[in-house]
Amino acid sequence: MHVEQISIFIENKFGRLAEVTRILGDAGVNIRTLSLADTSDFGILRLIVNDTEKARTVLKERGFTVSKTEVVAVEIPDRPGGLADILQVLDADGINVEYMYAFVERCGENAVMIFRFDETQKAIATLTGKSFNVLPGERLYSM
């Protein structure tokens, strides 16, 4: 039920994002979704890719600092209030969302959101207990 995400710490300067994407592309690594957060000096590029280990290896070989994190992919009804429904369920169970971002592909009629929780197992149990569909990593990597 977990999805592997890599986080790359990059300097906030011209060409660094292009360099990361070129390295991955040349290695045959497909980016499935991403999120970029920045400050004035550096950024954190969070990626879900089709081959996490290859991505980590090629980026580390080129001098990038890369870490792996487990996140959760959840189908969300693609309608007004769909995201609010899930967030209310999590809030009622005392689960904090550290960050989240949207996945590029839809899953049938639903949107897919990526979540990082402070209590991942509890979040998965809460969501599945309320009949929300938590997607396995293998399904996400091949979408």
Average pLDDT over residues 112-121: 86
Kind plus residue range of the DSSP H or E element containing 83: helix 82-92
Give the pLDDT of residue 10: 92
What's the pTM value of the predicted model, to 2 decimals?
0.81
Lowest mean pLDDT among 3-7, 76-80, 94-98, 100-104: 100-104
* Structure-token pair, residue 9: 């710490």
Residue 104 clears pLDDT 70, i.e. is over it: no
Query: What percentage of the chain's residues is helix, strand, coil (to nearest 5)?
Result: 35, 40, 30
Strand 3-11 with 31-38, pairing? unpaired
pLDDT tens string 32-69: 889 998 877 889 999 999 999 999 999 999 999 999 99
Residue 142 clears pLDDT 80, i.e. is over it: no
3 state SS of 143: coil
Specify whether the backbone of 10 is left (phi greater than 0), alpha (psi in -120 to 50) or beta. beta
Average pLDDT over residues 1-26: 91
Q: What is the dihedral of CA 20, 24, 27, 29, to 10 degrees?
A: 170
Domain at 3-69, CATH from 3.90.1010.10, 3.60.15.10, 3.30.2130.10, 3.30.2020.30: 3.30.2130.10
Whether the domain at 3-69 and the domain at 72-134 fall into the same CATH topology: yes
Architecture of the domain spanning 72-134:
2-Layer Sandwich (3.30)
Give the pLDDT of residue 107: 62
For the chain, the domains span: 3-69, 72-134
